Amino acid sequence: MAPAKPHSHDPAHRLSARPLPLNASELLDFAIAHFRSRTALEMTGTRVSYGQLGRRIRCLAQGLLDSGIRAGDRVAIVLPMSIDAVIAFHAVLRIGAIAVQHSDREPMMRLSREFADYSPVAVIIAEYRLNALAGLDEEARPKTVITVQAPELPKQAPRRLTFTGALAEIAKASGKGVMRVAAPPKGPAQLPLSFGTRAKLKDLLGSAPLPLDYPYPEPNDLAALVYEGGTRTSALGAMITHGNLTALAHQSLEYLETAPAGTETGYALWPLHSTIGIADTLTTSLFYGRHTILFPRFDHSALVRALKKNPPSVISGDTEVFRFLAEYARTTGKAPMIRLALSPIRREHTPNLRDWARDLGWPLVVSFDGAEAGVALFLRTSVEGREHTVGTPLPSIEVRVVDVHDRGHVVGPGTVGKLMIKGPRVFHGYWKKPDETTSVLSADGWVLTSSLASIDTDGYVTLIPSPEH
């Protein structure tokens, strides 16, 4: 059963009422043209408007071209949550190259394994992680290394604020405190001479802007590789196209747009290199003209201060964030007025949805399932008697449950099996891994997830805890 479509505002104020581009770069330029003077990104007091963001992306894009990077090249991005990371991602996409993001805290062994899997032509990396490149095998070494100075952030407090301590600070309502940011990993900020071209991001940002008529990528062109799965010996890079990225934005605008574009504030508490970070912060929020506040890490007191100063209507975060916000609402009697909550609700957390919805009073929660499923959206409104459901899939997303041992056998309503998903956001396979691809992706576009689930006769999907939970 498809969810009812939310009330829409005057079509003149709705992006979904207009023809939208089918590649991520052009769609972002579309938003920049409409919201040029509006704040696009904010982090620790620094703000960047849509106009400024667009110019910096074009300047860096030209700088990347001048550095020899071309369409189809893989560009690694090893940066912390930052405005520079957003600029880097979109500059790579703008010239038709493929962005591959990594956590700036990714262990050296895993980083080496993933680099070896896709052989980046270039890397945009925080200076404090340069030591991670020194141990790469020759064939995995990028030809171009672009360094980024670590962002200026307040120093870490001498203690980590506990949950109880956070509630005490809420009660005090002092509004004072510091952002707790872990110190960057230590290591020599130097590379062996065998590495090729080197540059600094700040210098490339001084390049002349990329011409406005530079060709945009095609919808079927690869935009990103996402490494979320794999094993200790094998890396799996999920291939995401421009069409995948814009499909999410188009569907979000069509079915979740209940406020005029360019009027909302959103919080980003999920890493940019994750599937949700890409789907929300790096694409949909920007395409929608939101003022997005970036949080370098989840910090209770910083979040409380932000809620008082600039409350959001949209928020993305993990279950710890929503658990804290629910406790905040119970303790203070003030629930944030959030219309859309985006979280990778896992099967072991679905029982909490009812309590969070009750305490926070939010009308819907959208849950996700991994890079392979392309960030499948489920709409969860008031579902009395369905405490464990994640809701119903949004239109254009098809779901089915198959036998655990035979994905060709679709089971009936209420029967537990493996969840399969199909839609315009489903990934295009694993990078250079045809066997692994066919093990999860059917020829007609159905992807097999790792989730156990059941679907009732009304179309509500319930995730089933696996034995280890």
For residue range 309-339, what is the model confidence (pLDDT) as tens digits?
999 988 888 778 888 888 888 888 888 888 8
For residues 181 and 229, give the distance between their C-alpha atoms in angstroms, rounded to a whole number: 27
* Residue 454, domain member (yes or no): no
* Residue 176, domain member (yes or no): no
With tokens 């980003």, the residue in question is 268
Phi, psi of 216 (to 5 degrees): -85, 155
* Residue 89, domain member (yes or no): yes
**Angle at the Cα of 382 (from 5 to 246), degrees rounded to 5?**
40
Phi, psi of 130 (to 5 degrees): -60, -30
| Closest CA relative to residue 183, chosen from 109, 104, 76 | 104
Residue segments in the chain with a per-residue pLDDT below the cut of 70: 1-19, 151-195, 230-232, 255-257, 345-354, 357, 362-369, 375-376, 379-388, 466-469
pLDDT in tens, 184-203: 555 445 665 556 789 999 99
* Residue 145, domain member (yes or no): yes
Secondary structure (3-state) at 381 = coil
* Residue 148, domain member (yes or no): yes
Query: Domain total for the chain?
Result: 1
Count of Cβ atoms closer than 10 Å to residue 204 Cβ: 21
Which amino acid would we find at residue 346?
A: R
Q: What is the pLDDT of residue 178?
A: 35
β pairing state of 447-455 and 417-422:
antiparallel
For residues 410 and 424, give the distance between their C-alpha atoms in angstroms, rounded to a whole number: 21
Q: What is the pLDDT of residue 368?
A: 60
Q: What is the pLDDT of residue 103?
A: 95
* 117, 304 Cβ separation under 8 angstroms: no
* 459, 1 Cβ separation under 8 angstroms: yes
* Residue 53, domain member (yes or no): yes
* 424, 224 Cβ separation under 8 angstroms: no
* Residue 37, domain member (yes or no): yes
Question: What CATH number should be reported for the domain holding residue 134?
Answer: 3.40.50.980
Domain holding 210, by residue range, is 23-152+195-217
Q: What is the pLDDT of residue 166?
A: 43
**Angle at the Cα of 338 (from 259 to 152), degrees rounded to 5?**
100
CA dihedral 24, 29, 30, 31 (to 10 degrees): 90
β pairing state of 222-226 and 197-200:
unpaired
